[in-house]
Amino acid sequence: MATVPTISLNDGTEIPQLGFGVWQVPADEAERVVSKALEVGYRHIDTAAIYGNEEGVGRAIANSGIPRDELYITTKLWVADFGRAEAKRAMETSLAKLGLDYVNLYLTHWPAPATTRYLDAWLGLEDLADAGLARSIGVSNHLPEHLDRVVAQGERVPAVNQIEVHPALQQRNITEANARHGIATQAWTPLGRGGTFEDAPVADAAEAHGVSPAQVIIRWHLQRGRILFPKSVTDSRIASNFDVFGFELTTDELTAIDGLDRGERTGGDPATFNPE
């Protein structure tokens, strides 16, 4: 089984660089697909309260027989629960569904900039970290101005900013802001829903290395130092997305993929997206 590299976070903890995501995985499929991911070798699982599948993730964890200290589990606080007291209640609900005493990483899910409630939510996450319910805390979808306000508001700097990153949307302004604050960049929808699979830099690298376009993009993220968690409900793809440690992209191949950025989002724009 491959050894997944880790990244050191700004709070002194380490996070496996390659994980498994369960966004849009139906609740009744979550246990099966997470069980398969754990069987393949993933030890980092990313879920969220709003996904509605924490219970299935929890059953897979419980049935895996894998010691808790070998697993890295992330979940997220939804916007409707932003606030110090609300965050505690939401965390307790998530922990009950997951069957865990703590999570390794707890994130606010969107800044929802029509209000400043994300700042109160951050203080709530600091409380949860102080109580030992989250080993690390971070944010999702935060633009540089949101990061600046969170850092100024709180006692802690977020360990992670989870944002949409793939070859067609690289958001360098955010990744540079993350780096300035010592915040790790974590990529959601890291494969961009296949939108660049047929682009020459990806297709040519796949042919050169005898791998799939998805494997090329996963290697690109890893070699660029990002954390990522591709998602699939297909057993063969769950396995192939993990089988990325037997080759390396060249500097020229990495640079060519860097050149595919064209600002193509698959999800909401943090500047305007205000979920409830």
If one counts every other C-beta atom within 10 angstroms of the C-beta of residue 274, the result is 13
Annotated binding site: 109
Contacts of 214 (CB under 8 A, 6+ apart): 191, 194, 197, 230, 237, 240, 241
Instruction: Tell me the helix, strand and coil percentages in the chain, rounded to 5.
Output: 45, 15, 40
Q: Who's near 69: CB < 8 A, 6+ residues apart?
A: none
Active site residue 51: yes
Residue type, 11: D
| Amino acid sitting at position 4 | V
Selected catalytic residue, list 51, 72, 106, 118: 51
Residues annotated in a binding site for substrate? 109
Report the catalytic residues.
Answer: 51
